[in-house]
């Protein structure tokens, strides 16, 4: 591109300047001698021609003046062009996340949120393989650049229910995937649908309370009757892991065929993968890569279906996971029976072993004494992997875990280092796989957050945040008043386009 042979210019710098230098060369009086390469040869010839004719007819000063005028106009045009060129390129690079209004809806009457969960989608899985559909949501939406932070314990039920209530597990009541009510002795498990377990107000209830429709194609807690939410058959599917993913997607899509006033404004969609594979083989197995590709195909199916209905750009899709995954191979085990020289912790005191150790000693046994002796043993250097477990009175846990304000939480909680497992006694069980449930400050426990749609800026990255913020984000998009929760009222404005 260089017009001057003597001083080659680095190509990166030449592009913007080139048009103006060409114009300047063309209009310079001695351009005939200065320029000789191909691109300006014609211009130089024209310049020579005009200057020779000028010498032949000296009386025609008008021509000279008009030529001078043309030169001036051409020069100012060149400068204006150069100015526009530089200023437009600097604007586009500097003003990326300028606050802007949410994009207007084209076909839908009201804002709609479709909340998609891919269980155990550890942050980073999106790079494992070609994920063109997830990439498309990221490229045209807003992403938590370093992932979404799960709540502690980083388990499926506590996290899914935090996402839809905005509450930490201590406040929404689902403090583990299974636990015991210390007052009644009743046991909670993942099939428990009695309302007494499920505290707080999940989004489907909030939405229905406001006179709108919600639909759930699986979500922990969705089968539970709460307030005005009665889990209506057509819009609330009872959990059944054998329903093919395609059927789930297609059913959700079919809700967009309903007349506008019957269409749900909040919808959930849940996939068990890649959690399912992660537990079996750990996060770094080709099986995970395949599972991620499959989830991506489901997102593709969803996008295509929404596009077919002309609503893809109207629907706010929020894609999340509930937690990450870490490999547990290499016999990283800690056995409670190894603590016998210090304290005997029998099986029936232990409500959960791993990766969240929860111990409730019987009345009459002081939790503080048990903790002191356990930690003494763990620190002694005589217990295999002892230094990778630390037990706490729940009141003494780091406050960032928010894991204290519920009687359902056992008095003694053990924090286990990433990838380690606690068991009662040595066994021959297969120990190689994947797990989650660890401290939520551990990076491998992070998952994804992607928001795509009229309320999300395109191509925007936001810092990581805890999933309890999502409830307020969704009620903000839907323009409804949410229930009190642990999320911040001001958070939604930090990741959403402003209301229109
Ligand atoms: Zn899970």
pLDDT at 108 over 80: yes
Flag the least confident range among 181-195, 209-223, 403-417, 424-438.
Answer: 424-438
Predicted local distance difference test score (pLDDT) of residue 329 = 85
Average pLDDT over residues 421-429: 88
Give distance in angstroms: CA of 21 to centre of ligand 1. 62
> Per the residue annotation, which of 21, 40, 156, 354 is the catalytic one?
156
pLDDT at 93 over 80: no
d(C-alpha 147, C-alpha 150), whole Å: 9
Give distance in angstroms: CA of 155 to centre of ligand 1. 6
228 φψ region: left (φ > 0), alpha (ψ -120 to 50), beta (else):
alpha
> Could you tell me the pLDDT band of residue 146, with boundaries at 50, 70 and 90?
very high
Give distance in angstroms: CA of 312 to centre of ligand 1. 27
> Could you tell me the pLDDT band of residue 283, with boundaries at 50, 70 and 90?
very high
Predicted local distance difference test score (pLDDT) of residue 142 = 98
Give distance in angstroms: CA of 202 to centre of ligand 1. 18
> pLDDT above 70 covers what percent of the chain?
80
pLDDT at 35 over 70: no
Secondary structure of residue 366 in the 3-state scheme: coil
Predicted local distance difference test score (pLDDT) of residue 291 = 96
Average pLDDT over residues 413-426: 96
Q: Is 156 a catalytic residue?
A: yes
Average pLDDT over residues 431-450: 95
DSSP 389: E
Predicted local distance difference test score (pLDDT) of residue 49 = 37
Beta bridge partners of 240: none
Predicted local distance difference test score (pLDDT) of residue 24 = 32
Flag the least confident range among 66-70, 137-141, 438-442.
Answer: 66-70
> pLDDT above 90 covers what percent of the chain?
77
pLDDT digits (tens, 9 = 90+) for 300-348: 999 999 999 999 999 999 999 999 999 998 789 999 999 999 999 999 9
> Could you tell me the pLDDT band of residue 100, with boundaries at 50, 70 and 90?
confident
Query: Regarding predicted confidence, which is higher, 107 or 431?
Result: 107
Average pLDDT over residues 338-359: 97
pLDDT at 55 over 80: no
The CA distances from residue 215 to 111, 164, 238, 270, 318, in Å, are 15, 13, 12, 12, 15
Give distance in angstroms: CA of 381 to centre of ligand 1. 34
Average pLDDT, the chain: 86
pLDDT at 20 over 80: no
Average pLDDT over residues 96-103: 73
Of 454, 484, 455, which is closest to residue 468 (Cα–Cα)?
484
Predicted local distance difference test score (pLDDT) of residue 214 = 98
Q: Which two tokens stand for residue 335?
A: 């056995």
Burial (CB < 10 A; 0-12, 13-18, 19+), residue 330, is exposed
Predicted local distance difference test score (pLDDT) of residue 457 = 97
Query: Regarding predicted confidence, which is higher, 92 or 258?
Result: 258
Long-range CB contact pairs, 98-104, < 8 A, 24+: 99/497, 99/498, 100/457, 100/497, 100/498, 101/497, 101/498, 101/499, 101/500, 102/454, 102/455, 102/496, 102/497, 102/498, 102/499, 102/500, 103/313, 103/454, 103/497, 103/500, 104/454, 104/500
Predicted local distance difference test score (pLDDT) of residue 431 = 72
Contact, 179 vs 192, CB < 8 A?
no
Query: Regarding predicted confidence, which is higher, 70 or 449?
Result: 449
d(C-alpha 11, C-alpha 292), whole Å: 41
pLDDT digits (tens, 9 = 90+) for 58-81: 455 555 555 655 555 655 655 555
Give distance in angstroms: CA of 178 to centre of ligand 1. 13
Three-state SS letters, 179-245: EECCCCCCEECCCCCCHHHCCCCCHHHHHHHCCCCEEEECCCCCCCCECCECCCCCCECCCCCCCCH
pLDDT at 429 over 50: yes
pLDDT at 192 over 90: yes
Query: Regarding predicted confidence, which is higher, 62 or 297?
Result: 297
> Could you tell me the pLDDT band of residue 46, with boundaries at 50, 70 and 90?
very low
Contact, 462 vs 142, CB < 8 A?
yes
Flag the least confident range among 48-62, 342-356, 467-481.
Answer: 48-62
Give distance in angstroms: CA of 322 to centre of ligand 1. 6
Average pLDDT over residues 106-135: 97
Predicted local distance difference test score (pLDDT) of residue 47 = 40
């Amino acid at each position: 591109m260089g017009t001057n042979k003597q001083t080659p210019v680095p190509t990166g710098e030449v592009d913007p300047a080139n048009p103006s230098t060409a114009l300047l060369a063309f209009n310079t009086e001695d351009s005939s001698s200065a320029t000789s390469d191909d691109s300006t040869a014609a211009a130089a010839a024209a310049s020579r021609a005009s200057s020779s004719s000028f010498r032949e007819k000296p009386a025609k000063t008008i021509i000279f003046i008009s030529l001078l005028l043309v030169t001036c106009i051409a020069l100012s045009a060149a400068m204006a062009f150069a100015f526009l060129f530089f200023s437009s390129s600097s604007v586009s690079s500097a003003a990326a996340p300028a606050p802007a209004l949410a994009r207007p809806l084209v076909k839908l009457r009201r804002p709609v949120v479709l909340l998609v969960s891919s269980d155990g989608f550890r942050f980073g899985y999106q790079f494992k393989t070609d994920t063109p559909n997830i990439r498309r949501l990221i490229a045209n939406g807003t992403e938590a650049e370093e992932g979404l932070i799960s709540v502690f314990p980083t388990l499926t039920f506590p996290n899914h229910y935090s996402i839809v209530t905005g509450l930490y597990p201590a406040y929404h009541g689902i403090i583990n995937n299974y636990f015991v009510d210390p007052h009644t002795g009743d046991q909670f498990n993942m099939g428990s649908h009695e309302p007494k377990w499920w505290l707080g107000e999940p989004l489907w209830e909030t939405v229905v309370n406001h006179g709108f429709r919600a639909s759930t194609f699986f979500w922990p807690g969705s089968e539970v009757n709460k307030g005005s939410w009665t889990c209506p058959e057509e819009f609330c599917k009872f959990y059944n892991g054998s329903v093919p993913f395609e059927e789930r997607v297609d059913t959700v899509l079919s809700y967009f065929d309903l007349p506008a006033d019957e269409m749900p404004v909040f919808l959930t969609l849940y996939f068990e993968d890649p959690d399912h594979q992660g537990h079996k083989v750990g996060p770094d197995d080709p099986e995970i890569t395949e599972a991620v590709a499959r989830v991506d195909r489901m997102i593709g199916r969803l996008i295509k279906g929404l596009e077919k209905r002309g609503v893809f750009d109207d629907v706010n899709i929020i894609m999340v996971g509930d937690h990450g995954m870490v490999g547990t191979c290499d016999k990283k085990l800690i056995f409670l029976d190894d603590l016998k020289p210090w304290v005997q912790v029998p099986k029936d005191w232990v409500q959960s072993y791993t990766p969240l150790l929860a111990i409730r000693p019987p009345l009459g046994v002081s939790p503080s004494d048990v903790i002191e002796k356990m930690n003494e043993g763990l620190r002694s250097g005589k217990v295999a992997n002892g230094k990778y477990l630390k037990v706490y009175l729940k009141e003494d846990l780091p406050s960032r875990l928010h894991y204290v304000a519920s009687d359902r939480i056992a008095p003694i909680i053990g924090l286990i280092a990433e990838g380690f497992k606690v068991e009662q006694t040595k066994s021959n069980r297969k120990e190689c796989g994947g797990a989650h449930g660890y401290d939520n400050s551990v990076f491998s426990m992070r998952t994804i957050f992607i928001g795509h749609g009229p309320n999300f800026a395109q191509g925007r990255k936001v810092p990581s945040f805890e999933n309890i913020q999502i409830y307020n984000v969704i009620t903000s998009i839907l323009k409804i008043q949410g229930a009190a929760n642990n999320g911040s009222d001001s958070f939604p404005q930090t990741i959403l386009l402003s209301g229109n």
